[in-house]
Amino acid sequence: MILKKKPLFLFFLIFTLFFFSSCQKAQKNKENYYSEAIGKKGSELKTALHEIIREHQKLPYSKIWDALCETDADPDLSGNVILVYSGWSVSKKWEARGKASGNNSYWNREHIWPKNRGKFETSPGIGTDLHNLKPEDKTVNAKRGNLDFDEGGEIYKDPDGETENRFDEDSWEPRKEVRGDIARILFYMAVRYESEDSRNLELTETVNKSGGTPFIGKLSTLLKWHEEDPVDGFEKKRNEKIYQIQGNRNPFIDHPEWVKEIWK
Ligand SMILES: [Ca+2]
Ligand SMILES: [Ca+2]
Ligand SMILES: [Ca+2]
């Protein structure tokens, strides 16, 4: 009897060890998360960061609603989320979200790197990457559409109130408080999605690219916004939450100095 039990015990021991080691692999340890990138520059740094951040949990699009309620929660009002462009604090409740389809005051899921600027949809993966998703008022979101990011144009006035965003025929200028946040999201996307992925997203100096091209501008403006609006507490908290939910981090929130090592 004892002889029969031993292999079973060994099997469970090996299984348990294997299970815990694979769990650790799924989420890289925060302490040495960037060890392979330290000391690197330019394209070597970009490649190293890509390897570090590419493994993550691919969420279904339906899970994004609840995830955004955690990542973009209003620090002063726990029942609310902060909308990225308008800055409005609105209820997390389902009635305030996309369910009320005829209501232009509800919030929905904005892709900062638009779906059509890379031809991706909302199936798990690139289209549901939580780093790239933010809550926004339906009609503010629609006005931003697929525009590139740059400065200039007139203030966008939504039926729900004036915003501090500007737009013209080819670009969108977000309010000052989130310009750097948006730049760092786009830096993340350009590094996370490379040639081995379904889309290789890259930043460009040109605006008004036609739909379907995997480029977003304007790089020099994004670099300026990164300097003018440095990493803040809201972004840091959001990065931690996404790390918990999705298992990867935005390197440009953790190491803002790496932006100029990659894009000059
Ligand atoms: Ca609205
Ligand atoms: Ca900011
Ligand atoms: Ca890329």
DSSP string, 108-162: EEEESS-TTTTT--SSTTGGG-GGGEEEEEHHHHHHHTT-EE-S-SEEEEETTEE
pLDDT tens for 78-95 read: 999 999 999 999 999 987
Q: What is the pTM of this model?
A: 0.89
5 in any annotated domain: no
pLDDT tens for 122-135 read: 999 999 999 999 99
| Cα of 176 from ligand 3 centre, angstroms | 26
Ligand nearest to the CA of 233: 2
Number of domain units in the chain: 1
First-to-last CA distance in the chain? Answer: 70
49 in any annotated domain: yes
pLDDT tens for 11-64 read: 554 444 444 444 444 467 888 999 999 999 999 999 999 999 999 999 999 999
The whole-number pLDDT of residue 123 equals 93
Span 212-229, average pLDDT = 95
| Cα of 123 from ligand 3 centre, angstroms | 19
Give SS3 for 224: helix
Residue (of 224, 228, 206, 226) closest to 215 by Cα position: 206
97 in any annotated domain: yes
26 in any annotated domain: no
d(CA 130, CA 233): 18
Give the domain extent around 182: 44-262
30 in any annotated domain: no
Ligand nearest to the CA of 180: 2
18 in any annotated domain: no
107 in any annotated domain: yes
pLDDT exceeds 60 at position 9: no
3 in any annotated domain: no
Span 83-111, average pLDDT = 89
| Cα of 131 from ligand 1 centre, angstroms | 23
The whole-number pLDDT of residue 10 equals 55
Span 102-109, average pLDDT = 89
d(CA 119, CA 130): 17
**Across all residues in the chain, what is the average pLDDT?**
90
Residues β-bridged to residue 90: 81
